[in-house]
Amino acid sequence: MLNKLILGTVQLGLPYGINNVHGQISLDNSLTLLEEAFKSGITFLDTAEAYGNAHEIIGLFHRRNASARFNILTKLPHEFAEQIDDKVERYLNDLQVDSLYGFSFHSFDSYKGKIKDVCRQLRKLKEKGHINKIGVSVYTNEEAIKSIEDPLIDFIQMPYNLFDNCHLRNEVLEKASNSNKEIHTRSCFLQGLFFMSPESENPVARSLKEELSLINDIAERYGISIQDLALHYAFENRKINSILIGVDNWEQLLQNIVSLQRSVPKEALMEVERIKIKDIDLINPTLWNKLT
């Protein structure tokens, strides 16, 4: 199962997550996390220039561990002045890798605004072997479907979780599968929201109190943890190629690995489909600041 896992690295470079009480991971702990993740069999990292100094930390790990090389997926910033090939060359140097497994647009708007300007350059970088696959990060089904229809795009990164579930995303998953496009999902734990109490005073949790209570009820009735339910809901969908998760330390990652080794009743996963979010803006983390 771990070959389906992509470890997110935003926590290495920034304090991140609605339920993060520890702040940014220290350098020593970041290097330990990467070392243990690689030893456990995780070989893919998701990162970005926008994630603080995450690129440099990954590069430092690679310099110190000559026999350990992660497959890297990174992203093009929303705004940039330098040429794409110069930027990719700098990324390769910062990350200490020979090529990027995935290079994606940070958002659909960025993709839509720059695709005509950089399309030829991206194809050349693929031909040179500097980039393996080109992708785009999306939020809505409309964005995903338009991206899937573009022959330049090899993979889509999109939300998928207990709230942003198959009820909302099945059309996209079917179209991607039929088009031989990879689907990488993120927000498996919705930035830690699922671990918050339904009675929390956090404005996001308060707005989703009924839905948080429902997933707690499903987990309790089937004798499983919220972590088990959330991980297996994404991992057991065969139309999803990879699942991106973020952790604050090695112990959390180990908990996820152990969780994936446990079994979850299919009936519990099917009950997740009962969850139908009325206001989908509530499950878009980029809009959460409007609730605070």
Q: Write out pLDDT tens, residues 188-212.
A: 999 889 999 999 999 999 999 999 9
- pLDDT at 292 (0 to 100): 61
Q: How much is the average pLDDT of 95-118?
A: 90
Residue 221 counted as domain residue: no
Q: What is the per-residue pLDDT across 39-62, written as a single tens digit (0 to 9) for each?
A: 999 999 999 999 999 999 999 999
Name the more confident of 246 and 179. 179
40, amino acid identity: S
Task: Answer whether residue 20 shows pLDDT above 70.
Answer: no
Residue 184 counted as domain residue: yes
Weakest-pLDDT range from 78-92, 152-166, 256-270, 273-287: 78-92
Residue 160 counted as domain residue: yes
Instruction: Specify the number of domains making up the chain.
Output: 1
Task: Answer whether residue 119 shows pLDDT above 90.
Answer: no
57's CB contacts (< 8 A; 6+ apart) are 9, 12, 13, 27, 30, 31, 34
- Going by pLDDT thresholds of 50, 70 and 90, the confidence category of residue 274 is confident
Residue 225 counted as domain residue: no
Q: For residue 73, give the nearest of 241, 250, 189, 253 by alpha carbon.
A: 241
Question: If 0-12 CB within 10 Å is exposed, 13-18 middle and 19+ buried, where does residue 74 land?
Answer: buried
CATH of the domain at 127: 3.20.20.100
**Domain residues for 160?**
2-197+238-263
Residue 227 counted as domain residue: no
Percent of the chain exceeding pLDDT 90 equals 79
- pLDDT at 40 (0 to 100): 94
- pLDDT at 183 (0 to 100): 98
* 52 three-class SS: coil
Residue 275 counted as domain residue: no
Residue 216 counted as domain residue: no
- pLDDT at 17 (0 to 100): 46
Q: How much is the average pLDDT of 146-161?
A: 96
Quickly count: other Cβ atoms within 10 Å of residue 82's Cβ.
10
pTM over 0.85, yes/no: yes
- pLDDT at 179 (0 to 100): 96
Six token digits for residue 76 = 């093009």
Residue 277 counted as domain residue: no
As beta bridge partners, residue 184 has 157, 242
Quickly count: other Cβ atoms within 10 Å of residue 22's Cβ.
12
Task: Answer whether residue 16 shows pLDDT above 60.
Answer: no
Task: Answer whether residue 18 shows pLDDT above 60.
Answer: no
